[in-house]
Chains A and B, each alone.
Chain A
Amino acid sequence: MGQRRRVANPPSQGVAGARTDCVRVSDRKHNICMVSDFFYPNMGGVESHIYQLSQCLIQKGHKVVIATHAYDRRKGVRYLTNGLKVYYLPLQVMYNQSTATTCFHSLPLLRCVFVRERITVVHAHSSFSAMAHDALFHAKTMGLNTVFTDHSLFGFADVSSVLTNKLLTVSLCDTNHIVCVSYTSKENTVLRATLNPEIVSVIPNAVDPTDFTPDPSQRQEDRITIVVISRLVYRKGIDLLGGIIPELCLKHPDLHFLIGGEGPKRIVLEEVREKYQLHDRVQLLGALEHKDVRGVLVQGHIFLNTSLTEAFCMAIVEGASCGLQVVSTRVGGIPEVLPEDLITLCEPTVRSLCAGLETVIAQQRSGSLPSPASIHARVKNLYTWKNVAERTEKVYDRVAGEEVLPLDRRLWRLRAHCGPVSGSIFAFVAVLDFLFLLLLQWLVPDRLMDDAVDATGPHRLWRQETIVKQTKSRSHSKGATSS
């Protein structure tokens, strides 16, 4: 009931009450709502990050729900493994799976989700997602604590990044806490959004080490295979790869390339293959499903990453976890990811990458490289989701004790922080949002919304036993989900 009241009068009392009781109980459980445009069935780093993090938080006893937009016929409410509840809200998709933002149209549905699930912390993901920014904006209007995770690096120079950086400044200036995936990413975000570095934490991504285990028997010993797995786009440095392939293939007749991924730059690689007649030595596998990635990785000796910008490179951790020697460009957050002896870092030029690859090939021939099993054993414990969840939990604990700015101070902060013009515009938008919320509270009062039945968290009805029973009798599990 406490949270109910808190939603009803966002600015003052409820928040102060929440603050005192959270300082007393540090291991209290949170009701978390993850919001992002990107979730399954779409595939990618952000999607799997949200899913894995939610699963670990559920195991720690928190209640987690996810809100995303509807994907084709997948709309409404769905349950995933362990009772993870996903709301696929019918919001219009505009560009690149990101929803259109008008700042207002998503409020009724998001408010409904926040109220009926008794959410205490709203965690938005990815700066490309308009829905995440909308949710942050509405959550602050409703007086909920907010956390934002940034998954990508951005430039400062061109027009589009100037605009997105401005939006990010507005969106993050009154957010309680921000999480970045690497120190480089933190630096980038702090500069882009002119934030106080103290409210920015670094929590890296993780891989599931049981998914990526080495298997040296899959390697062909009469040759050296270099594996590249990335989307074939400009950002991933595919043009560099196109320069490396002919140069090294000329020098080493037993060198083979295995390239997984799809994208507009595929044509560059096909041209190179055509021009130098390398059809038997350069294999283009096309788009790979996540479950097939390991099967490709274990065939190789060396993993090559040619990215030009990268906040935290998951691919090199996956490669190293499969026991491959990693060669990568020294850009973004990559130097922080692996210990020095497991990775060879080069400048993002063809010559430097060739030199780096040559040394690793020479080491491979002389047999002085560590064995795949020993590399796996070291990488296995570096990045685990359990660790990520523990660190995120600390962020939630800290955020739950913080105060959400009441409307007047929020307006003041917006105008002080975001410049006189855009600050005033967004302060006006914030006032409209607040008035819209009051209208909705009058039309559909909070007391008329039924509290959702918890499938996760301390009051969950969906316990481990019911999941076991579910396999035996279906009618039973339905009782558990619905009654």
Chain B
Amino acid sequence: MMEDEAFTDINGKTISLDCQSHSSFCREFTVSSPKTSMAKVMVYTCCVWLLSYTVFFFTQNTAVLSAAIVITLVSMMLHIHFVKVDHESLLVIGSLGIQLSSNYASGRETTTFIEMNKIKDIVINEAIYMHQIIYFLCVLLKDPSEPDAVSSVVPLFQSSKPRLNCLVKIYKSCQEILSKC
């Protein structure tokens, strides 16, 4: 079973949510962010180059121009490798655990796995983020020795930041699996 739906993130950009049901106790949710627009890349590149050309105009040193090219290329690479997340996914496997992974635009992937005996619950929480108050989905962790206390909190979908309607859909789906085990 597979569905694909369009939602927006907290800044109003369109994101897509892809729910895959592998079996009755295993589901995968993937939130894909929009691709970096060409216009944005052009604006940043133009800014750096115009600036460097102004400096070159006064200093007449060609090293400035070569530096500008290197800076643009390196920062683009760093951006797609460390900052720009293409899609984030949450794999919930009943009785086993939760796997969180985020794929960067360069193809780099980071994955974390949380065992079921450390998971207390998955909830939607509210937080103050920059100058906004937003909803986000998070996993509550517990120490297996103290089953009643929450030891720490792992926020989910940190870079895509979907809005409440999308979170509620994921939340309900997750709870269906978590309540079975």
Are A and B a genuine interacting pair, yes or no?
A: yes
Interface residues of A (CB under 8 A from B): 75-77, 87, 89-90, 108-109, 112-113, 116, 444-445, 448-452, 474-475, 478-479, 481-483
CB contacts (< 8 Å) of B163 on chain A: these are 448, 450
Bound state CA distance, A76 and B128, in angstroms? 6
Set of chain A residues within 8 Å of B133, measured between Cβ atoms: 77, 87, 109, 112-113, 116
Q: Once the chains bind, are A112 and B132 in contact (CB under 8 Å)?
A: yes
Name 22 interchain pairs, CB-CB below 8 A, sorted by A: A75-B128, A76-B126, A77-B126, A77-B127, A90-B128, A108-B131, A108-B132, A444-B131, A444-B132, A445-B12, A448-B8, A448-B11, A448-B163, A450-B134, A450-B135, A450-B163, A451-B164, A452-B126, A474-B121, A479-B175, A483-B168, A483-B171
Query: Quick check: B172 and A483 within 8 Å, CB to CB?
Result: yes
B116 → chain A, closest Cβ, in Å? Answer: 14
Whether A482 contacts B125 in the complex (CB less than 8 A), given A112-B133, A475-B179, comes out as yes
Instruction: Write out, one digit per residue, whether chain B residues 55-77 have a CB within 8 A of any chain A CB (1) or not (0).
Output: 00000000000000000000000
Least CB distance, A147 to chain B, in whole angstroms: 23
Considering only CB atoms, which chain A residue lies closest to B125 in the complex?
A: A482
User: Is B123 within 8 A of A89, CB to CB?
Assistant: no
Judged by a CB distance under 8 angstroms, whether B50 is at the interface is: no
Chain A residues positioned under 8 Å from B165 (CB to CB): 450
Q: Give A445's nearest chain B residue, CB to CB.
A: B12
Interface residues on B, range: 20 to 34
CA distance in complex: A217, B126 (Å): 50
**A contact residues around B121 at 8 Å (CB):** 474-475, 478
- The reply to whether B128 and A89 contact each other, CB–CB distance below 8 Å, is yes
Residue of A nearest to B148 (CB): A474
Q: Which residues of A contact B125 (CB under 8 A)?
A: 482
User: Which residues of chain B are near A444, meaning CB under 8 Å?
Assistant: 131-132
Q: A444-B131, A482-B124 are in contact. List 18 more A-B contacts (CB 8 A).
A: A76-B126, A76-B128, A77-B126, A77-B133, A87-B133, A108-B131, A109-B128, A109-B131, A109-B133, A112-B133, A444-B132, A448-B8, A450-B134, A450-B163, A478-B123, A482-B123, A483-B124, A483-B168
The CA of A452 and the CA of B171, in the complex, are separated in Å by 16
- Report how far A108 CA is from B134 CA in the complex, Å: 13
Distance in Å from the Cβ of B110 to the closest Cβ of chain A?
A: 26
| A393 and B128 alpha carbons, distance in the complex (Å) | 30
Closest 10 CB pairs of A and B: A108-B131, A482-B124, A450-B164, A77-B126, A482-B123, A112-B133, A448-B12, A478-B123, A112-B132, A450-B163
Contact pattern, B 100-126, Cβ under 8 Å of A = 1, otherwise 0: 000000000000000000000101111
List residues of chain B with CB within 8 A of the CB of A482: 123-125, 171
B124-A76 in contact (CB<8A): no
* Chain B window 161-181, contacts with chain A (Cβ cutoff 8 Å), 1 for yes, 0 for no: 001110010011001000100
A479: B residues at CB distance < 8 A = 175
What's the least CB distance linking A105 to chain B, in Å?
Answer: 9
Whether A76 and B127, one on each chain, are in contact in the complex, defined by CB atoms closer than 8 angstroms, is yes
- Chain B residues lying within 8 Å of A75, measured Cβ to Cβ, are 128
In angstroms, how far is the closest chain B Cβ from the Cβ of A65? 11
Among the listed A77, A90, A449, A474, which residue makes an inter-chain contact with B132, where contact means beta carbons less than 8 Å apart? A449
How far apart sit A291 and B8, CA to CA, in the bound complex (Å)?
A: 49
How distant is B163 from chain A, measured CB to nearest CB, in Å?
6
Q: Nearest Cβ in chain B — how far from A388, in angstroms?
A: 30
**Interface assignment of B10: CB less than 8 Å from any CB of chain A:** yes
Bound Cα distance from A448 to B9, whole angstroms = 9
> Bound complex: CA of A397 vs CA of B126, how far in Å?
31
Bound Cα distance from A116 to B135, whole angstroms? 11
Smallest beta-carbon distance A440→chain B, Å: 8
Give the nearest-CB partner of A87 in chain B: B133
Return the CB mask of B1-18 against A: 1 if under 8 Å, else 0. 000000010111000000
When distances are taken between beta carbons in the complex, the residues of chain B under 8 Å from A448 are 8, 10-12, 163
Are B10 and A112 neighbours in the complex by a CB distance under 8 Å?
A: no
Q: Which residues in B have their C-beta under 8 angstroms from that of A445?
A: 12
Report the bound CA distance from A75 to B165 in whole Å. Answer: 25
Q: Give complex CA distance A452, B134 in Å.
A: 9
Distance in Å: Cβ of B111 to nearest Cβ of chain A: 26
**Do A112 and B124 have beta carbons less than 8 Å apart?**
no
Q: Which residues of A contact B124 (CB under 8 A)?
A: 482-483
Residue of B nearest to A105 (CB): B131
Rounded to whole Å, the gap between the CB of B128 and the closest CB of chain A is: 6
Instruction: Name B172's closest neighbour in chain A (CB-CB).
Output: A483
How long is the Cα–Cα vector from A282 to B121 in the complex, in angstroms? 55
In Å, the complex CA distance between A137 and B165 comes to 33
Closest chain B residue to A116, Cβ basis: B133
Minimum Cβ distance to chain B for residue A110 (Å): 10
Cα–Cα distance between A11 and B150 once the two chains are bound (Å):
47
Smallest CB-CB separation from A109: which chain B residue?
B131
B residues 124-162 near A (Cβ < 8 Å) are 124-128, 131-135
- How far is A76 from B134 in the complex, measured between Cα atoms in Å? 11
Complex Cα–Cα for A15 and B101 (A): 48
Residue numbers in A under 8 Å from B164 (CB-CB)? 450-451
Determine how close the nearest CB of chain A comes to the CB of B7; give it in whole angstroms.
Answer: 12
Complex CA–CA separation, A87 to B133 (angstroms): 10
Taken together as a complex, chains A and B put the C-alpha atoms of A110 and B132 apart, in Å, by 9
CA distance A75 to B132 in the complex (A): 14
Chain A residues near B127: list those with CB within 8 A: 76-77
Residues of A within 8 Å of B10, CB to CB, are: 448
A290-B124 Cα distance, complex, nearest whole Å? 35
Cα distance A113–B131 in the bound complex, in angstroms? 11
Rounded to whole Å, the gap between the CB of B134 and the closest CB of chain A is 8
Of residues B11, B12, B133, which shows the largest number of chain A Cβ atoms within 10 Å of its Cβ? B133
Bound together, the chains give a CA A451 to CA B126 distance in angstroms of 12
Hey, which chain B residues are within 8 Å of A108, CB to CB? 131-132
Q: How far is the CB of B39 from chain A (nearest CB, A)?
A: 19
Which of chain A's residues have a CB closer than 8 A to the CB of B126?
76-77, 452
Residue on B with the closest CB to A450? B164
Which residues, 76 to 114 on B, are CB-close (under 8 Å) to A? none
Return A4 CB to nearest CB of chain B, in Å: 15
User: In the complex the two chains form, what is the Cα distance from A483 to B169 in whole Å?
Assistant: 10
